[in-house]
């Protein structure tokens, strides 16, 4: 008898270029009969979905996307619900599991669900601007669509007070203009104005733009700020070297970083 148990892959396609997509993500998309996603994310994999049923959604219809993907899988279909970055970091897999929990889903005899991780913005952006995430870091989204701004402020304050390198997702939109300014003002209470800051727009896409600046000058680059931009704020140890943000992990306190042979050669 043929196994008709449906399969739902929640797939992270990374920053967008196929070079940064995992083999597992590509295989899951190729295996799928149906592909569902936010239209911008679907467009990143256009060459992989020819001949499949494709459902493209505008932004803010996450619940509809998730329910449709689950319903198709419940009918025995193989479905990929695609996200950019990693679906487990501000992505769709949390919503999928919330809906399934409300439906009393059982992973033994219900639909098969697999979260396929991808390269998130914090990975792709840090790779472009040096080594900013070598020590403890925090990640905060400026989007207050689902989280009250008062809660976000508390998280920003904690990250600043704790001297965390801080990655900021969704720093601004047409509707949200004060959040990043408020965040910068909080950090300026705990960090020097010259603290290195990176602004990365569209990492590894054709629209990619990268700037390494300072906390004091962060708001001077408002034309780069938007939903596909990530901001990385250094901690008290982060320094700028030739346009790169470097965050020392502490080796210098225990080791001589330059070998004696190298010193002699120089």
Nearest CA to 62 among 44, 82, 79, 45? 82
Higher pLDDT, 255 or 36: 36
Is pLDDT larger for residue 110 or for residue 1? 110
Contacts of 202 (CB under 8 A, 6+ apart): 16, 208, 209, 228, 229
Measured CA to CA, the distance from residue 58 to residue 83 in angstroms comes to 13
pLDDT over 60 at 76, yes or no: yes
CA distance 87 to 13: 9
Q: What percent of the chain has pLDDT over 90?
A: 80
| Residue environment code for 220-253, b if the CB has 16+ CB neighbours within 10 A, otherwise e | ebeebbeebbbbbbbbeebebeeeebbbeeeeee
Query: What value does the mean pLDDT of the chain take?
Result: 92
Confidence (pLDDT) at 104: 96
Residue range 215-227, pLDDT digits in tens: 999 999 989 998 8
State the residue for tokens 């098969």: 112
Three-state secondary structure call for residue 8: strand
Cα→Cα distances 239→124, 131, 231, 264, Å: 19, 10, 16, 27
For residue 130, pLDDT over 90 is answered with yes
pLDDT at residue 176 is higher than 90: no
User: Considering just the CA atoms, what is the radius of gyration of the chain in Å?
Assistant: 21
Contact 97, 8 (CB under 8 A): no
The single-letter DSSP state of residue 87 is T
Average the pLDDT over 84-91 and give the result. 94
Task: Read off the pLDDT band of 2 (50, 70, 90).
Answer: very low
With 0-12 CB in 10 A as exposed, 13-18 as middle and 19+ as buried, what is 170? buried
Q: In angstroms, rounded to a whole number, what is the distance separating the alpha carbons of residues 197 and 2? A: 56
State the pLDDT at residue 1: 33
pTM above 0.75, yes or no: yes
pLDDT tens figures, 91-128: 999 999 999 999 999 988 999 999 999 999 999 999 99
Question: Domains plus CATH for the chain?
Answer: 7-119 (3.40.1010.10), 122-246 (3.30.950.10)
Q: Is 63 a residue whose pLDDT tops 90?
A: yes
pLDDT at residue 262 tops 80: no
Instruction: Give residue-wise pLDDT tens across range 179-195.
Output: 999 999 999 999 999 99
Secondary structure E strands in the chain = 7-12, 34-38, 53-57, 78-83, 112-116, 130-131, 137-141, 165-169, 196-201, 209-214, 229-233, 239-241, 244-246
Measured in degrees and rounded to the nearest 5, phi and psi for residue 150 equal -60, -35
Residue-wise pLDDT tens digits, 133-164: 999 999 999 999 899 999 999 999 999 999 99
Q: What confidence score (pLDDT) does residue 73 get?
A: 98
């Amino acid at each position: 008898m043929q196994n008709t148990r449906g399969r739902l892959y929640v797939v992270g396609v990374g920053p967008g270029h196929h070079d940064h997509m995992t083999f597992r993500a590509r295989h899951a998309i190729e295996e799928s009969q149906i592909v569902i996603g936010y239209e911008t994310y679907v467009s990143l994999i256009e060459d992989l979905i020819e001949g499949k049923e494709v459902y493209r959604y505008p932004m803010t219809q996450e619940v509809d996307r998730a329910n449709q993907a689950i319903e198709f899988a419940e009918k025995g279909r193989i479905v990929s619900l695609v996200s950019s970055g990693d679906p487990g970091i501000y992505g769709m897999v949390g919503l999928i599991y919330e809906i399934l929990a409300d439906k009393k889903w059982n992973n033994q005899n219900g639909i098969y669900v697999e979260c396929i991780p991808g390269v998130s913005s914090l990975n792709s952006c840090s790779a472009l601007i040096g080594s900013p995430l070598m020590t403890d870091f925090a990640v905060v989204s400026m989007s207050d669509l689902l989280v009250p701004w008062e809660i976000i402020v508390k998280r920003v304050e904690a990250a600043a007070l704790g001297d965390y390198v801080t990655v900021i997702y969704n720093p601004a939109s047409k509707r949200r203009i004060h959040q990043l300014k408020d965040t910068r003002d909080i950090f300026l209470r705990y960090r020097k104005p010259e603290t290195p800051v990176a602004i990365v727009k569209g990492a590894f896409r054709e629209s990619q733009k990268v700037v390494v600046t300072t906390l004091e000058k962060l708001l001077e680059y408002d034309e780069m700020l938007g939903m596909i931009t990530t901001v990385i704020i250094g901690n008290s140890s982060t320094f700028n070297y030739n346009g790169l943000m470097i965050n020392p992990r502490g080796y210098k306190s225990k080791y001589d970083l330059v070998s004696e042979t190298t010193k002699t050669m120089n």
